[in-house]
């Protein structure tokens, strides 16, 4: 797999060391990223991902050095060099090199081509466990590189055989560390609009659900989640993943819910046909 990466105007092998040590992403954690993949060799919802990436950059007051059209050409070149039908792309935009270790001079822009993450068909069929974690992300609409809480809790998640953390604060839920969360109550699909990253898979799932369910996008109480009939999470890597256990609490009857599996099927059908 000859994967390559783009960095500030040049293409390098994926193993090449690129960053100098006075980058604000390293010194101050000042950076953002985005992540998406291809289906049938075509980038999925490319316009949506680019818009979110630009929005994150604007909120962090960083200038994206390329246009969407210029970036599309780079993606095509990196994809061709990989010699793979399907790839994932990871964008990273940092504050760049700062002589005074504070002020942004010129951002650094990295695009990595990566192998697709390992699928989790068992999780999609049987559901996953998550751990409640009292925390809300700072600047939640930015897909920042700060995942410190996920890393801190990685061993605990392994010990408890949990797949992720569920963030909540002041009695309201927001999201998981890397994905959005939905619940079904009496066939109404509900998801939070507070302190969440506006996931592209989240957006797609709501589009798919619109003809079949009432949808409510609003603040969601933690207790409301605990009494849900079904819970699932969405992301590029999870697709539509049922959540059947939250800490010691069993969701519904402890199995993947019929509505969650229905939406999972709609999503899988869509990506199977993507770009054809």
The residue from 88, 114, 140 where one domain ends is: 114
Containing structural domain, residue 221 = 121-272
pTM for the model stands at 0.95
* Rounded CA Rg of the chain: 19
| Domain stop point among 66, 92, 114 | 114
Of 158, 188, 140, the residue nearest 32 (C-alpha):
140
pLDDT given at position 123: 82
**Whose CA is closest to 78, among 45, 51, 110?**
110
83 in the same domain as 132: no
How far apart, in whole angstroms, are the C-alpha atoms of residue 202 and residue 184?
14
Cα 170–chain centre separation:
24
**Same domain as 129, residue 102:** no
Assess whether 267 and 147 both reside in one domain. yes
Q: State how far Cα 226 lies from the chain centre.
A: 24
Q: 122: pLDDT confidence band, cut at 50, 70 and 90?
A: confident
Residues 82 and 134 in one domain: no
**What is the enclosing helix (H) or strand (E) of 219?**
none
Q: Is the pLDDT of residue 119 over 70?
A: no
Q: State the CATH number of the domain containing residue 222.
A: 3.20.10.10
Percent of the chain with pLDDT over 70: 99
For position 1, what pLDDT does the model report?
A: 62
Last residue within a domain, chosen from 57, 85, 114: 114
* Residues 34 and 91: beta-carbon distance below 8 Å: yes
Which 3 state secondary structure label does DSSP give 142? coil
For the chain, what is the domain count? 2
Q: Could you count the other beta carbons within 10 Å of the beta carbon of residue 113?
A: 23
Same domain, 37 and 156: no
Confidence at residue 118, expressed as pLDDT on a 0 to 100 scale: 75
């Amino acid at each position: 797999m000859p994967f390559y990466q783009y960095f500030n105007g040049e293409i390098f092998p994926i193993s090449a060391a690129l960053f100098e040590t006075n980058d604000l992403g390293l010194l101050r954690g000042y950076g953002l990223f985005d992540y998406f993949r291809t289906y049938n060799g075509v980038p999925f919802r490319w316009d949506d991902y680019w818009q979110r990436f630009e929005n994150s950059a604007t909120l962090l007051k960083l200038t994206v050095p390329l246009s969407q059209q210029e970036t599309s050409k780079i993606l095509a070149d990196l994809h061709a060099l990989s010699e793979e039908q399907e790839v994932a792309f990871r964008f990273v935009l940092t504050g760049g090199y700062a002589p005074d270790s504070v002020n942004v001079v010129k951002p650094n822009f990295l695009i990595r081509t990566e192998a697709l993450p390992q699928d989790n068909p068992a999780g999609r069929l049987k559901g996953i466990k998550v751990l409640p974690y009292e925390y809300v992300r700072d600047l939640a609409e930015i897909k920042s590189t700060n995942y410190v809480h996920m890393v801190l809790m990685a061993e605990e998640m392994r010990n408890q055989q949990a797949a992720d953390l569920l963030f909540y604060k002041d009695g309201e839920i927001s999201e998981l560390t890397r994905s959005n969360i939905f619940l079904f109550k009496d066939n109404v699909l509900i998801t939070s609009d507070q302190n969440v990253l506006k996931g592209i898979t989240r957006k797609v799932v709501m589009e798919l659900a619109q003809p079949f369910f009432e949808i409510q996008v609003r603040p969601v109480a933690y207790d409301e989640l605990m009494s849900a009939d079904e819970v699932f999470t969405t992301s590029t890597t999870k697709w539509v993943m049922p959540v059947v256990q939250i800490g010691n609490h069993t969701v519904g009857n402890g199995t993947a819910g019929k509505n969650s599996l229905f939406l999972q099927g709609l999503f899988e059908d869509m990506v199977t046909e993507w770009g054809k």
